Structure 1
Amino acid sequence: MPLVAVTYVKGRPGATTTALGLAAVAPEWARPVVVECDPAGGDLVRRHELAAVPSVVDLAAAARGTARPREVFAAVTQPLKVREAMVPVVCAPPGGAQTRAALPELTGGGRAVLTAPDRVVVADCGRLGQGSPVWSLLRLADVVLVLARANAADVAHLREHLGDLIDAGEGRLVVLLGAGAAYPAAEVADVLSTHIGQELARDPQAVSVLGPLPHDRRAAAVLGGDLVAGRRWRRLPLMAAYARMWDDLAPYLPAVAALPTEQAAEAAS
């Protein structure tokens, strides 16, 4: 039931870019699908000129009527092409009202669709705030990936949310540092683990810190729909960093159920 939730608590450090980037370079076993769950509304329709429907609203409606996530995703995903990679995505409508209405369905009776046994769901959860409907989604996640910049303001803001993030569920909490870091990952990890152990009285190992991501405008433009991927797009620094991240995330993700050969071919197409 692998579910990776991508979110952030301050600024706008690129949750959609990271969710799509991870899916685009995922290992074959992951068979990822990106689901836009941002309560503020989706970006993929506009950035990549995708169809407005089907959307996460249709995913929520379909999830209520079937217990077979594979069939649900076949009906509501559309392919987003990054050169030769075809990433199945479930878009969210621009604006947030429809997504906010759909999220309780996906984390309640229809939660099985987000924890599909045959693929990794990468959920773009946008900005995390008090009262956000994505908190219930984080409780389902095997990995909660929190984006942050390694500067004093973002680290302080992140510290204030650590208790709630740890309490959100039993999934692994991973902090991913963005480009332009003022502090190295080891220093940020030390600050956070000290806070967790001494002030929150929790396991200091509850959080791991990855990054920082490289500053790579070309890859960001490809993932943002502003630039066509070249032949060597996978070698771009940001893409390579996302690919390496799967080695760090894999130990916390349940094994993806194998598909029969014919179904596996259909899923990959």
Structure 2
Amino acid sequence: MPLIAVAYVKGRPGATTTALGLAALAPAHARPVVVEADPSGGDLIRRLGLAATPSVVDLAAAARGTTPAEDALAAGTQEAVIGQVGVPVVVAPAGGAQTRAALPELTGAGRAVLTTRERLLVADCGRLAPGPAAWPLLRLADVVLVMARARTDDLAHLREALADLVDVGAGRLVVLLAAGGLYPAAEVADVLTRHVVKELARDPNAIDVLGPLPTDRKAAAVLGGDLLAARRWRRLPLMRAYTGLLDTLAPHLPITASTPTDFREETPR
């Protein structure tokens, strides 16, 4: 399945909200699934009032054998409802220990549960830290979406992580600027690209900078389970931004040939 890995390196710029928003707004043919893969533990159980099981632990258990990817996902998913849209999610327990134990079962050699081409999978990888937990998942991703606010401290931490992020795999590296930044996207792109070229000696096209996302408390509250979605919830500024982001990323997200590959061909669910 096409895989978007959503992560960050500093602060809390809204990775979980973004992962859920992308899945909620993806068209039906993409058959999206959100997987909480944050090594520090998940948030969706409490945010959305979901059950503790099934979870990423059940998905990992199903992935150990010869279970087909679709059946393994079915063993780990439950449904969250966002604006009358059912979004399959694989939740993670709080605390992180069980998630850290499960991730190698999902990303090891021969594991196909996250890499078939029949669904759009959006993995919430949380904060990137040294260690083996989430990085193997990033190597599998078609798009690595790293969120940051356009502020000096966030960007300094991001710049220090760029060498690892550029080298993490063949997927597209995109920096998505969250709301609340100080600098325009063009300026951030210039600084990061110069660092990639001059300090890392890498291809200047190795990184894209998109955003910033709009400040939209109402949409964030809908995705966080604190506000019931109104009839036109997809027209909220943040939801529109996520839809535009999906359109931008579509060329990098291969869906099986039997389904459309351009997200704009189908009205979101």
Q: Which of the five TM-score ranges fits, normalised by the shorter chain?
A: over 0.9
What is the SS of the residue equivalent to 1:114? coil
* Separation in 2, partners of 1:110, 1:25: 31
Deviation per CA, 1:154-194, whole angstroms, max 9, x where unpaired?
11111110000011111000000011221111111111111
* Corresponding position: 1:76 with 2:39: no
Letter in structure 2 aligned against 1:220: A
Q: Deviations over 1:34-63 (max 9, x none)?
A: 000001110000011111001000000001
Residue 141 of structure 1 aligns with which residue? 141
SS at match of 2:243: helix
1:186-215 CA distances to partner (integer Å, 9 max, x unpaired)? 111111111001110000110001100000
Task: Say if 1:218 and 1:227, in contact at 8 Å, map to a contact too.
Answer: yes
Task: Report the count of equivalent residues.
Answer: 260
For the Cα contact (< 8 Å) 1:119–1:257, is it kept in 2? no
Partner amino acid, structure 2, of 1:121: L
State how 1:157-236 maps to structure 2 within 5 Å: 157-236=157-236
Once residues 87 and 108 of structure 2 are traced to their aligned partners in structure 1, the CA distance between those partners, rounded to angstroms, is: 26
Q: Which runs of 4+ in 1 moved over 6 A?
A: none
Aligned CA-pair RMSD: 1.4
Is 2:119–2:255's contact at 8 Å kept on the other side of the alignment? Answer: no
Asked if 2 retains the 8 angstrom alpha-carbon contact of 1:63 and 1:110, the reply is: no
Amino acid at match of 1:255: I
Q: 8 Å contact 2:20–2:34 — kept in the other structure?
A: yes
**Corresponding residue for residue 118 of structure 1:** 118
CA contact (8 A) 1:107 1:137 kept: yes
Distance 1:81 1:110, change over 3 A: farther
Identity of aligned residues (%): 70
Other-structure match for 1:264: none
Equivalent residues of 1:25, 1:239 under 8 A apart: yes
Uncovered stretches (5+) of structure 1, i.e. residues with no partner: 260-268
- Which aligned pairs between 1:40-79 and structure 2 lie closer than 5 A? 40-79=40-79
Give the 3-state SS of the residue equivalent to 2:170 in structure 1: coil
TM-score normalised by the chain length of structure 1: 0.93
Q: For 2:110 and 2:76, how far apart are their aligned partners in 1?
A: 14
Mapped contact 1:21–1:239 kept (Cα < 8 A): yes
Alpha-carbon distance in structure 2 between the residues aligned to 1:27 and 1:34: 14
Query: 1:29 touches 1:256 (CA, 8 Å); kept in 2?
Result: no
1:29 Cα offset (Å): 2.9
